[in-house]
Amino acid sequence: MPNDALAYHPPAETDRFAGIDRPTLVADRARAQRNIERMAAKAEASGVRFRPHFKTHNSVEVGEWFREAGVTAITVSSVEHARTFADAGWDNITIAFPLVTRALPTIGDLATQVRLGLLVEGPEGVTALASVESAVDLWVDVDAGYGRSGARWDDAARLAEIAAALVHVPRHRLRGVLTHAGNSYHAPDHAAIRGIWADTAVRLAAARDLLAAATGASGLEISVGDTPGCALMSRLTAVDEVRPGNFVFFDLQQLALGVCSEDDLALAIACPIVGVYPARGEAVIHGGSVQLSLDTAPGPGDVRNFGRLAVVGSDGWRLVPVDDGFVRGISQEHGVLRCSPDILAQLRVGDLALIIPAHACLPANQIRDWLVL
C-alpha cells in the first residue's frame, strides 16, 4: 500500500485542468499575492520604494496583482518588456539592463509615454542619450562585487567619466546608483546573504558619494534588487529602492537558500505524463529544457535536480520529499522524473505531473500558457 502521507493526487480534472494538453504554467494566486503583500509591507515599513522586477513573470495578468497591492513603479530587463507593460498601462518603468544604444529609437518613443528609468554603465551610454528628446531618469549601473556589468563601486576615474558625460544630456536627470547583487544566489548561508546586503549597501553609498562629488548633485539614491537579500532581511536598511522579482513565485533555489518556505512556492508547471517505467523507477513527462529550462537546484546527493514533484492538497500544492519525485534529467521536450516506488505506482500515462521549477524565471518566460488557481 502506498504511504498515505506521500499519496499522489493528480490535479483534479475540473474545468481548470481538463484542457491542459501541453506543459502549462500554473500560478497559485493566493500565495503569489501573499508574497507580494509581504514584500510591499516590508518595503513600506523600511521606508524604501518598492519597484518590483517584472522579468520573473513577464505577464500582464500577474502584473495586475501587484497593482492591487498598491505598486505603481516597476522594473523590467529589456526594452521589449518595457513596451509590453507600458501598453498595459504602467507609466513608471525602469529598464534595469545597461542601455542598449541600438534600441534608442524605441527607447525615445517609450520616453514620450512613460516615466522611464535607464541604466548607464559608462560615458558612451550617457552621451548616446542626447538623441532621446523626452527627459528620462538615469541610474548608474554599479558593480558592487557581482562582477557582471557596471562601473566598479571604487573606480573613481570611471565614475568621474560618467559624471563628465552628463553635461551632454542636461535634460535627463541623474537619480542614483543601482546594482543587482546576484552573488546572493550562490551564498552558502544566511550570514553570507546578510553580508552581501551590507557590503553592497556600503559600496553603493561610496559610489553614490563619488558621483555626488563629481556632479554636485544632491539626493542621489541607492537601488538594489536581489530576492535572497530582500526576502531574508527583516528590514531593508541603507537603501532607497528595492527591485526584487523572483519572490513573487519563489522556487527550489530560493527554498534551498532558506529565504522562503514551502508554503510560499507559487508557481508550478503542469506536465502531461507520457510514460511510466517501474523497472527504472522513473516516469517521463512532457516538460523539457524548452519549458523547464536547464536551471537546477540542489538535488539529493550529487544529482542535478531540474524540478520537484508536488501534490495537490486542500490548501494548494505541497512538495513530496525529494527522493520521492524529482526531475533528474531533461532534453528538449522530455523530462525524466525519478520517483519512489510508492509514488510511481500512482502515476498514470495521461495524468498531469505538477513540477515546481528549480528557478521560476525561465519557465515563466518560455511557456506561453498560464492557468491561475
- Answer for which of 113, 134, 149, 346 binds a second copy (CB under 8 A) is 149
Piece of 40-48, 77-85, 166-174, 192-200 that binds a second copy (CB under 8 A): 77-85
Buried b or exposed e, range 281-290, using 16+ CB within 10 angstroms: ebbbbbbbbe
Residues between 292 and 331 that touch a second copy (CB under 8 A): 293-295, 329, 331
Q: Give, as ranges, the residues between 196 and 225 that touch a second copy (CB under 8 A).
A: none
Is 52 or 150 the residue whose CB approaches a second copy more closely?
150
Q: Assess contact for 268 and 355: CB atoms under 8 A.
A: yes
Determine contact, residues 98/78, Cβ cutoff 8 Å.
Answer: no
Which residues, 104 to 133, sit near a second copy by CB under 8 A? 105-106, 121-122, 124-125, 128
Sign for the CA dihedral angle at 356, 236, 42, 94 comes to negative
| Residue number, 48 or 110, with CB nearest to a second copy | 110
Q: Which of 42, 51, 55, 172 binds a second copy (CB under 8 A)?
A: 55
CB-CB contact of 144 with 200 (8 Å): yes
Find the helix or strand (DSSP H, E) in which 115 lies: strand 115-120
Among 373, 343, 355, 372, CA closest to 9: 343
Q: First vs last Cα of the chain: how many Å apart?
A: 31
Looking at beta carbons only, is 5 or 157 nearer to a second copy? 157
Q: Taking a C-beta distance cutoff of 8 angstroms, is the pair 29, 65 a contact?
A: yes
What residues numbered 82-101 form the site for a second copy, per CB under 8 A? Answer: 97-101
3-state secondary structure of 260: coil
CA distances for 122 relative to 9, 73, 126, 242, angstroms: 54, 25, 7, 23
Nearest approach in angstroms of CB 305 to a second copy is: 14
164 counts as binding a second copy under rule CB under 8 A: no
Strands 304-305 and 267-277: unpaired
Nearer to a second copy among residue 8 and residue 97 (C-beta): 97
Residue 59 as a binder of a second copy (CB under 8 A): the answer is: no
* AA letter at 309: L
User: Which region, judged by CB under 8 A, interacts with a second copy, from 129-137, 163-171, 231-239, 362-370?
Assistant: 362-370
Instruction: Give the contact letters, 175-194, x = binds to a second copy (CB under 8 A), - = no.
Output: -------x------------
Contacts with a second copy by CB under 8 A lie at 20-22, 55, 77-80, 97-103, 105-106, 121-122, 124-125, 128, 147-150, 152, 182, 272, 274-276, 279-280, 284, 286, 289-290, 293-295, 329, 331-334, 336, 348-350, 352, 361-362, 365-366
